[in-house]
């Protein structure tokens, strides 16, 4: 239970070649990336937010769920 404004953060990253640098990974209106759309939908289902970061190399996927917005899935 995440009460009192606590935040749960999940970070998955790799140091591979990464994603396209077009910015589409963070655009919620892009529907051609089904995997991203599903991850974004699942994060939203529990009141969370999905963010994709692209450091110099690789990709970082971050999901944050705040305790005051958590809903049972």
pLDDT tens string 10-59: 999 998 876 665 655 566 665 556 788 889 899 999 899 999 888 888 88
pLDDT digits (tens, 9 = 90+) for 45-71: 989 999 988 888 888 999 999 887 545
Q: Which residue has the higher pLDDT, 73 or 22?
A: 22
- Find all residues with CB under 8 Å of 55, minimum gap 6, and list them: none
- pLDDT in the model for residue 54: 85
**Whole-model pTM over 0.95:** no
Closest among 15, 12, 33 to 24, alpha carbons compared? 33
**Number of separate helices (H) and strands (E) present in the chain:** 1, 3
């Amino acid at each position: 239970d995440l009460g009192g404004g606590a935040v749960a953060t999940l970070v998955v990253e790799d140091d591979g070649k990464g994603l396209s640098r077009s910015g589409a990974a963070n655009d919620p209106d892009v529907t051609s990336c089904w995997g991203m759309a599903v991850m974004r939908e699942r994060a939203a289902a529990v009141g969370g937010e999905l963010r994709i970061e692209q450091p110099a190399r690789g990709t970082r996927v971050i999901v944050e769920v705040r305790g005051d917005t958590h809903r049972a899935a």
